Structure 1
Amino acid sequence: MTHRLSQVLTSVLLLSGSLNAMAENMKFGYVNAARVYSESQTAQQIEQNLQKEFANQQQKINALQQENNQIREKLVSGSLKANDKQKLETKLVQNRMAVAKFLEDYNLRRNEEFAALQQNANAIVRRLAEQEHFDLIVQEAVFVRAQYDITERVIKLLDGR
């Protein structure tokens, strides 16, 4: 029994030593995707283009929201006839639906654009991994030493700098 325990401990020690040696020979990288999507010129250009594309609709939505505020004030005042109150409540629901539709359209379009950006960023990460012989590149981690962070390089490559 003691002999068997000794063999197991020896095996564990040898295995841990070889794992350490393997880890020392591995090359790791980390990409902060949130930074890529917020700091890259490409992402900022996408945001600007979306703002231009949806500017007219955004103005209409702002007007609807102001109208909704006025409607709510009238409804709270309690001085409306039942028929007028019902019309205002219906208008409020219609306005809210219009705002929700706008947000849905905007988010759908934004997701389309950022999906393309994500594909480009992932292709750059794969190319970096192959060219520089990375063994592992991760996008999420609890803690990362600065020496492993390749986010800035990915941003520069994505922006063509």
Structure 2
Amino acid sequence: MSSSLAKNTFGKRKVGMLLATSVIGLSLTAPTVFAQAKKTTEGTETKTEAAAETSSTSPLKIGFVNTEKILRDSAPAKEAQDKIETEFKKRDEELQKLANNLRSKAEQFDKNAPVMTDAERTKAQRELADLDTDLQRKRREFQEDFNRRRNEAFSGIVDKANAAIRDIAEKENYDLIVQDAVTVSARIDITDIVIKALDKK
């Protein structure tokens, strides 16, 4: 698809808009400090030191997930993208025909305008304006329908990704997993792990 519309529609697009700023806080149950009471040989109760150290002495385990990458590179996302593009291919081709027709008529008008009467020129300009308005309306409707369909498909993928993230957090004892950050160390990026988990489902 060669037009700017096709590039905007079917080119590499940023699809992480769906949950780019969401954060999943997974607070895992931490050991609680408590005082133990025990009977002495004389039958009196005394309080002992805590049986376990507080969770604050343990390092916080944090992970990062790049939602945009999941919605671009995971198998379910690629499959959904291909399906949507196939669904909208015919409408995109129709828009291409309308755009080519408008361009052809505009070129013809530019060529013939000098020899046209004022009435002919006004009529041709009105026809071009009507064609352009119709094309812009159909492009806008196309984009709205495409975005709606894409959001529907990707919302399911996001739900599956969040479920996978929760499973990983529980199994690997993460205290917090974030999906948006200004700067991230590769050491805590678990995006590829999440993608692998999604691809297996």
- Pick the TM interval, shorter chain: 0.7 to 0.9
Distance 1:24 1:68 in 2: 68
Is contact 1:32–1:139 with CA below 8 Å preserved after alignment? yes
Distance 2:57 2:101 in 1: 63
Q: Which residue of 2 aligns with 1:15?
A: none
Unpaired stretches in structure 2, ≥5 consecutive residues? 1-54, 114-119
TM-score by length of 1: 0.78
Question: 1:1-161 residue pairs with structure 2 within 5 A?
Answer: 22=56, 24-74=58-108, 76=110, 79=113, 80-160=120-200
**Taking structure 1 as reference, are residues 76 and 108 closer, same or farther at Cα in structure 2, changes over 3 Å only?**
farther
**Taking structure 1 as reference, are residues 153 and 81 closer, same or farther at Cα in structure 2, changes over 3 Å only?**
same
Aligned length: 141
Sequence identity (%):
31
What do residues 67-96 of structure 1 show as CA deviations (whole Å, max 9, x unaligned)? Answer: 232244345557152122212211211121
Question: Equivalent residue of 2:151, what SS?
Answer: helix
**Bigger Rg, which one:** 2
Distance 1:23 1:29 in 2: 19
Is contact 1:31–1:139 with CA below 8 Å preserved after alignment? yes
Is contact 2:102–2:128 with CA below 8 Å preserved after alignment? no
More helix by share: 1
Distance 1:61 1:36 in 2: 31
Question: Equivalent residue of 1:137, what SS?
Answer: strand
Is contact 1:71–1:92 with CA below 8 Å preserved after alignment? no
- Select the structure with the greater relative contact order (CA < 8 A; seq sep ≥ 6): 1
Is contact 2:95–2:139 with CA below 8 Å preserved after alignment? yes
CA RMSD across the alignment: 2.0
Distance 1:128 1:139 in 2: 14
Question: Equivalent residue of 1:143, what SS?
Answer: coil
**Runs of 4+ deviating beyond 4 Å:** 74-78
Distance 1:23 1:93 in 2: 66
AA aligned to 2:176 is L
Question: Equivalent residue of 1:131, what SS?
Answer: helix
